[in-house]
Chains A and B, each alone.
Chain A
């Protein structure tokens, strides 16, 4: 039987594995549903709310013929105080072959994977990483740009709290793209430039997006802003991506957003709906990318 493995973060995933997953996603998208995982039980363990990640993992698992069960924090024994590991052992005892987990605490999937003998897929851990999102972002970019090498990407907004930014930066810089991280100091500290070799921090929006190939806008994560006094109107004035601002980027630049987006806050509605926006396509590609991840983790990929 082929190797079973977890997907916990992109920082430690080999470049070959990244390439392999992106190719596999392409095959999944072309080929559509197939029963590769019909003998597998997949648990979707969500300690945090989610729409697109949860649904697309569930559709991906079902498209591959797996049996799925969704467990959320508020409708399970988690609410009664069961520990993460005990929940993991319980799911394992129930015959689960793979756990997809979203958790508010950075590193929680790593701890779960270390203690279980089944693969764990990180569907977003705290502020740390969101590897399936990073892969689908790269996949989406590659549908519009020939190559990641030499590409200039700006990620704008709440970098500090963003697992999407961390995963995207890890992957895109690995393939030779340059990533500019942009936001006010409290959301985009200078230290963010240490994330990867080919990344930098630019404080203001105009220089950050000038001439870039990709603009990725991030949501202000109000739920994680504990103690921070962010002046929202000032933020909108300085960082909102408007149609005017978008003209600073390359003519054929694409606009991305991992969602959920707040129209009128970080992004103007007209930009989200413009021909340069690939936001809905990102969601669509998410299913194929997650099919690839599940098949790869369960050793069912050919």
Chain B
């Protein structure tokens, strides 16, 4: 990030900072990359080089996306760190966590450092999450301490699960020693081979082999037990089933360091959405992701958990793929959709406006909790002295998502053409406006 000393005054907005228990009309002065003052309207004392009028807007701690596939190194045709972070900025994210399933897999301090090099051209903060096992092959543990020193904030073999009981136990033990959370892609792949969507009536009608929900629950249940035994911090990625959620709730009741995230598509869509009314619209791989869109009952369980706190964070699982890769037979097309640019609006439209959660809770899910779960000091809050990362959005503004105008290199979103509420008006990283509507 550029370190040019300068100051920015964000005026007249409604500041929602759950970590500081603030929800009020306030002005915020950012200086030298830090929050310098938070004061009542017109009461900041220092002068500012630049002013931003946030009248009618929410001013929130910079959003943190715990789950992003930036595709570099190795798959720059899908996304680069530069293009992915531009999409993040457009979506209001000031920090993104880069998953290690790149090519080669990010299982070393060298690759972690390469990703963090200024030459990558990131315009928001990037926090690499490193592979828990060498090559994410699930056999040999990586050097957790070395990865942590290089800048990794968590460990995962995301894209696939850490399947073997013994290996997962070893990973949790070693991670607990260095204080890093372990993020699990909870899928018992022995139950999901050849499957391309959720098991159920829709899959049966479409003739697609279905992933049973037990495939997710089984891994989470085991992992919660292992987390209890190892005292490690376990974070369940992209939770999607009521069964897995029950296991997380159990872990939380037992006061274990167990947490989970949900993607916007899993609280917005269900498996029935894969089926279309018109033959020509069927088998659209923009509805293919892993975990798959689940049943209406699963979605209901997710919505309840977002409200009552069992789900800790919203993360996009932004998974860019080129048009030619996605435009293929449904069963052959790769899993995943883009999500950085639509996450906030889907949350505003389907969670806040549907009265499932408050704006304060929404902000918390995007900022305070991810910062806490990943130990990102000085982030996820607007308290004086915090990093000058701010997300400014208008929850009432209606807009239409146009994938063609996406900053991402890939356009594989099922939300193209959707009219949504909640527009990011400005994204501020390190005191600099990196995106402005």
Interface residues in chain A, defined as those with a beta carbon under 8 Å from any beta carbon in chain B: 6, 8-9, 11-13, 83-85, 103, 105-108, 110-111, 113-115, 125-129, 160, 163, 166, 189, 191-192, 194-195, 226-227
Contact = CB atoms under 8 A, between A and B. Distances in A.
A114 B208 contact: no
B173 to A, nearest CB: 34
B204 A226 contact: no
Interface stretch (B4-12, B308-316, B325-333, B429-437): B325-333
A178 B209 CA distance: 26
B330 A107 contact: yes
Contacts of A113: 279-280
Contact of B327 (A9, A103, A115): A115
Contacts of A85: 324, 327-328
A107 B206 contact: yes
B200 interface: yes
Given A85-B327, A85-B328, 18 more contacts: A6-B279, A8-B279, A12-B277, A12-B278, A83-B324, A106-B206, A107-B208, A107-B283, A107-B329, A111-B330, A113-B279, A114-B281, A126-B208, A127-B208, A191-B200, A195-B204, A195-B205, A227-B193
Contacts of A105: 329-332
B331 A194 contact: no
B194 interface: yes
Nearest to A128: B207
Nearest to B202: A194
Nearest to B208: A106
Contacts of B204: 160, 189, 191-192, 194-195
A197 to B, nearest CB: 12
A268 B329 CA distance: 38
Interface of B: 193-194, 200-201, 204-209, 277-283, 324, 327-332
Most chain B beta-carbon contacts within 10 A, residue among A108, A110, A163, A192: A110
Nearest to B203: A191
Nearest to B193: A227
A116 to B, nearest CB: 11
Given A106-B330, A107-B329, A114 B280 contact: yes
B280 A6 contact: yes
Nearest to A196: B205
A191 B200 CA distance: 7
Nearest to A131: B279
B279 A110 contact: yes
B329 A103 contact: yes
A84 B329 contact: yes
Most chain B beta-carbon contacts within 10 A, residue among A108, A195, A226: A108
Nearest to B200: A191
A129 B207 contact: yes
15 contacts: A11-B279, A84-B328, A85-B327, A105-B329, A105-B330, A105-B331, A106-B206, A107-B206, A107-B283, A107-B329, A115-B327, A125-B207, A163-B207, A191-B200, A191-B201
A194 B201 contact: yes
Given A110-B283, A111-B330, A226 B194 contact: yes
B279 A9 contact: yes
CB-CB nearest 5 A-B residue pairs:
A107-B283, A128-B207, A127-B207, A106-B207, A194-B201
A108 B329 contact: yes
A111 B282 CA distance: 8
Contacts of A108: 283, 329-330
Most chain A beta-carbon contacts within 10 A, residue among B194, B283, B331: B283
B181 to A, nearest CB: 35
B270 to A, nearest CB: 15
B328 A110 contact: no
A286 B306 CA distance: 55
A128 B329 contact: no
B280 A106 contact: no
Nearest to A9: B279
Contacts of B324: 83, 85
B327 A166 contact: no
Contacts of A12: 277-279, 282
B153 to A, nearest CB: 38
Contacts of B281: 114
A194 B330 contact: no
